[in-house]
């Protein structure tokens, strides 16, 4: 049968072992049937889950293609089980207007996986935001982080919250106050050992408190990216309990790394918001277990190793995360702290629901056939030299992880299978 794929003996998160039949890019049946197909993949009882949706990535490309481009980032994504990527606006050109949005769409067409774009917020580009079509979310930076633009004025934030409701698009926020960061830069010496103090936790806590208060007053849809402190986790959980429409993203590095891990990493571990304390790891993990955390974002932020090796003040913040995120999150499954269904909710279903992404994030008839097969027992050591991303370094280098993606299927076609990449072309994400 032309353009068809049958995945046999796949174990779903609820334990059922079924066959998944795909044709013309979509799932056509999930059950015991075994129809003829152009291609058959034997899952052998391994876990099949929906392809991961990562709404928080920095793909670079265009004038920053020396750091990363859509070809290298999407290869990295496919290997890590990520079937849909959404790029942040702090590219060059920055995605703050319609011409830059069109340039990004053009660059993204070489992606092996599906792609979306987050549109940047400035003080005065609300008309451009209203005219933008097909975007994933609005993205606002409240502190400088290679963003090119900072917004922290309450009046502007109020207007953008109202706009998020009008457009039915989440406002995704990097929640640190630039004025607070600047004040702390006067207090500490500028080196990696003080990065978490130069961008003090108070700056994130103040920003999140302000955002929650403004959202309570104005409404709108608020998505707080890469939450890193215990205090923010508690505030957001309380706001959610009170009925506010606010969502909570964490990254694997804020869940599993703390300042004690970074002593020998130098600028490799430089990221914004900074890696915090072990107590923050515990609080974020508990918030995830308790159901307060909505999504996992990698904040994949590639730079060249030469750039990261510059003196602290000149070295950019960020590191790659697409090839390590799933295996890191599987730690919580292996430890019995979350169920497989909860991991799928965090990495697949909830991103699709929150951002209104059509027909992705679940294993069901009629959905696009974005699927991954995982060998949960396969152990491997993080070796950045073997990454597909151009950013071949990681604060997780040398860590032993358990669980690896053996097959990644995008729109019904295997992209990563049997240890190698296969030619493919992703699609622009569609929204409800």
Where in the sequence numbering do the catalytic residues fall? 299
Residue 372, class by beta-carbon neighbours within 10 Å (0-12 exposed, 13-18 middle, 19+ buried)?
A: buried
Give me the residue label for tokens 């969502």.
247
Cα 43 vs. chain centroid, distance in angstroms? 26
CA distances from 196 to 112, 207, 232, 267, 319 (A): 36, 16, 16, 12, 16
- The C-alpha atoms of residue 44 and residue 36 are separated, in whole angstroms, by 18
| Closest to 134 (Cα-Cα) out of 101, 112, 91, 111 | 101
Q: Pairing relation of β-strands 17-23 and 137-141?
A: unpaired
* Pick from 189, 190, 111, 174: nearest CA to 140: 174
> Maximum distance among all alpha carbons in the chain?
68
* Residue 160 · residue 121 · CB < 8 Å: yes
CA dihedral in degrees (45, 252, 410, 365; nearest 10)? Answer: 60
- Residue 342 CB contacts under 8 Å (≥ 6 apart), including other chains: none
Question: What sign does the dihedral 414-417-422-428 (CA atoms) show?
Answer: positive
**DSSP string of 234-302?**
HHHHHHHHTT--EEEEE-HHHHH--GGGGTTTGGGG--SSPP--HHHHHHHHHHHHTT---EE---B--
What gap in Å lies between CA 151 and CA 163, rounded to an integer? Answer: 15
Q: Would you tell me how many other CB atoms lie within 10 Å of the CB of residue 152?
A: 18
Q: Which of 417, 326, 405, 413 is nearest to 369 (CA)?
A: 413
Would you call 83 helix, strand, or coil by DSSP?
A: strand
């Amino acid at each position: 049968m032309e353009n068809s794929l049958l995945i046999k003996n796949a174990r779903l998160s609820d334990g059922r072992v079924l066959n998944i039949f795909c044709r013309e890019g979509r799932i056509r049946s999930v059950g015991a049937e075994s129809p003829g197909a152009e291609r058959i993949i034997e899952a052998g009882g391994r876990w099949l889950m929906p392809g991961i949706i990562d709404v928080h990535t920095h793909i670079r490309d265009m004038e920053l293609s020396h750091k990363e481009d859509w070809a290298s980032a999407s290869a990295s994504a496919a290997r890590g089980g990520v079937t849909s990527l959404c790029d942040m606006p702090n590219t060059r050109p920055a995605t703050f207007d319609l011409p830059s949005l069109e340039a990004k769409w053009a660059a993204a067409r070489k992606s092996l996986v599906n792609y979306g774009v987050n549109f940047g917020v400035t003080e005065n580009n609300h008309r451009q935001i209203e005219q933008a079509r097909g975007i994933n979310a609005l993205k606002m930076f409240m502190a400088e982080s290679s963003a090119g633009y900072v917004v922290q004025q309450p009046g502007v934030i109020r207007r953008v919250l109202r706009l998020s409701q009008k457009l039915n698009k989440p406002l995704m926020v990097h929640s640190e106050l630039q004025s607070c960061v600047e004040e702390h830069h006067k207090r500490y010496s500028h080196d990696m050992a003080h990065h978490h103090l130069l961008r003090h936790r108070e700056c994130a806590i103040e920003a999140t408190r302000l955002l929650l208060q403004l959202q309570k007053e104005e409404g709108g849809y608020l998505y707080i990216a890469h939450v890193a402190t215990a205090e923010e986790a508690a505030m957001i959980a309380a706001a959610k309990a009170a009925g506010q429409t606010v969502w909570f993203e964490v990254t694997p590095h804020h869940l599993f790394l703390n300042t004690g891990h970074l002593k020998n990493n130098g600028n490799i571990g430089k990221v914004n918001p900074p890696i915090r304390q072990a107590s923050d790891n515990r609080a974020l993990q508990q918030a995830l277990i308790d159901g307060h955390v909505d999504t996992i974002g990698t904040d994949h932020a590639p730079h060249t190793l030469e750039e990261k090796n510059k003196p602290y003040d000149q070295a950019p913040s960020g590191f790659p995360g697409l090839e390590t995120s799933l295996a890191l999150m599987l730690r919580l499954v292996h430890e019995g702290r979350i169920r497989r269904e909860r991991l799928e909710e965090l990495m697949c279903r909830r991103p699709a629901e929150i951002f209104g992404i059509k027909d992705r994030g679940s294993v069901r008839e009629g959905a696009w056939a974005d699927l991954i097969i995982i060998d949960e027992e396969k152990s491997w050591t993080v070796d950045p030299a073997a990454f597909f991303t151009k950013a071949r370094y990681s604060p997780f280098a040398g860590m032993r992880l358990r669980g690896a993606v053996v097959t990644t299927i995008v729109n019904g076609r295997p992209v990563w299978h049997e240890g190698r990449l296969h030619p493919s072309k992703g699609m622009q994400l569609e929204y409800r």
